[in-house]
Structure 1
Amino acid sequence: MCFYDPEPGGPAPPGAFVGAKPAGLAPWQASRAAAYVERRLETTIRVIDLARAARLSPSYFSRAFKTTFGLSPQKYVVEQRLTLAKRIMLTTDEPLCGIAVACGFSDQAHLSRLFRRREGAPPSAWRRERRQASL
């Protein structure tokens, strides 16, 4: 695949892509990738498996995924896991170590580190604060 940025007034060669913006995923590919992630959040999710589900090479899939979702596949998976963890924290009394494993994090420390980076507070404080606000 060759991208071509034509000079002003210059013709593009036959079969060249004009501009260097990569195409995103087709709607069926995007929904298949999102569903794959949703069904397998508690397991290891590899880009090669996502690409296979979308019938693309891993490198092309990664670029197209980022164009479509605005995040790399890895960051998208982390965001989905954090969203699930937040939902479980608000609706159950499950300990954080159990939530971490249920959401696909390696351990509670991994969940806490990523959660604090995203939310600005540790999960236990975030949970306590949200629960008190809902009373």
Structure 2
Amino acid sequence: MIPDRYETGSGGFVWENLMPDEVFSLTQFHVFAAFDMRMGEEWAGSEFINHYNRLYYVRAGEGVLKFKDKEIQLKPGHMYLIPAYQLVSHSCVGEIDFVWVHFQAQIDTGLDLFMLYGESTAIDCSALLGIEDFFLQLVSLCKSDSPRTTFARTRVLLSLLDPLMQEFERTNKGLHTFRHQSLLPALALINENVVNAPDVKDMAEAANFTPEHFSRKFKAAFNISPKRYILQKRIALAKQKLLLANVNVEQIAEQCGFCDIFYFSRVFKQEIGLSPSAFRKEYLIANK
């Protein structure tokens, strides 16, 4: 129920309610994982993509995040945001001591807020109180799962995101300024039909572009082609089903829009590094 804009109370007192924002008030936040780690030079990934957002806080050591159009140096005392579906490489020099969080900020049918708002960003936390403590609280809160800890994780996550939102506002990316408005209809179409995904022509029509212009604009916006984006969405869905659904791999391939189990297995291994069966087995062993 949407409240009335104006309401009256006892004694004739009249006030104006703050109405729900069509995006930010309705965003659903969820923390997937948080870990406190020290890694050596094996912490190196080349041009990979995740379907969730990432936050890093570096306590010691140095490294680099490489995107298509820029590099961000990892330094102690800084926090870093990597939005979902960003093609990124990372590495460190010597050892890096850092805390990381994976989360989503879902706004509509699978779309993520940080795909559309803000960008890969570094924040100097030297003048901010409690940032490291917030990260460590999330690490602790991820060790158990209950309604209370779910609520607490969201509360702490929002505290971490607050300086980032301030930075976006400070750099004139107003709170209601989205970078890719023209692509929203196509993104919604994809996310509503991941299994039976639309072709490029249908996506282009939804965004009112020619197919060629749409493909160029989509890749420029998200550092990923429309077809690769759809593939990543399907792989993410397959990972969930492999871990949660009590069905065989062939059924999961069909349920996730892959034409046959052989193609599914080959693509899954290319993207994840494990076959679907090995991925399922490793998770079950790790969580016994």
| Alignment TM-score, normalising by the size of structure 1 | 0.76
CA deviations on 1:26-84 (whole Å, 9 max, x unpaired) are 63333322221122122143100110111111000000000111111111111111111
- CA RMSD after TM alignment: 1.6
Match of 1:34 among 187, 205, 225: 187
* Structure of higher RCO (CA pairs closer than 8 Å, 6+ residues apart): 1
Which deviates more, 30-39 or 88-97? 30-39
Deviating runs (4+, > 3 A) in structure 1?
Answer: none
Q: Distance in 1 between matches of 2:235 and 2:188?
A: 16
**Structure 2 partner of 1:129:** 282
CA 1:29/1:84 → structure 2, altered by over 3 Å: closer, same or farther? Answer: farther
Alignment counterpart, residue 75 of structure 1, candidates 228, 245, 254: 228
Q: For residues 2-26 of structure 1, give each alpha carbon's deviation from its aligned partner in whole angstroms, at most 9, with x where no partner exists.
A: xxxxxxxxxxxxxxxxxxxxxxx96
Q: Aligned partners of 1:26 and 1:45: how far apart in 2? A: 23
TM score, norm. by length of structure 2: 0.37
What is the aligned partner in structure 2 of residue 115 from structure 1?
Answer: 268
What count of residue pairs does the alignment treat as equivalent?
Answer: 111
Q: For residues 186 and 241 of structure 2, what CA distance do their matches in structure 1 show?
A: 23
Give the Cα–Cα distance (whole angstroms) in 1 for the partners of residues 195 and 188 of structure 2: 13
Distance in 1 (CA, whole Å) between partners of 2:182 and 2:265 is: 32
Is 2:238 the counterpart of 1:85?
yes
The amino acid across from 2:207 in the alignment is: A
SS of the residue aligned with 2:195? Answer: coil
- The CA distance in 1 between the partners of 2:189 and 2:179, in whole Å, is 15
1:106 maps to 2:279: no
Q: Which amino acid aligns with 1:67?
A: A
**Alpha-carbon distance between aligned partners in 1 of 2:245 and 2:276, rounded to the nearest angstrom:** 14
What is the distance in 2 between the residues matched to 1:29 and 1:52? Answer: 11
Which residue type is aligned with residue 232 of structure 2? E
Could you tell me which runs of 5 or more consecutive residues in structure 1 were left unpaired when the two chains were aligned: 1-24
Partner of 2:200 in structure 1?
47
In structure 1, distance between residues paired with 2:182 and 2:233 = 18
The corresponding residue for 1:9 is none
**Distance apart, 1:128 and its partner CA:** 0.8
Structure 2 unaligned runs (5+)? 1-177
* Identical aligned residues as a percent: 34
Q: What is the CA–CA distance in structure 1 between the aligned matches of 2:242 and 2:188, rounded to whole Å?
A: 22
CA distance in structure 2 between the aligned counterparts of 1:117 and 1:67, rounded to whole angstroms:
24
Shift of 1:108: 1.0
Partner amino acid for 1:80?
A: K
Q: 1:110 and 1:41 mapped to 2: Cα distance?
A: 17
User: Structure 1 or 2: larger helix share?
Assistant: 1
Contact 2:190 2:197 in 1 (8 A): no
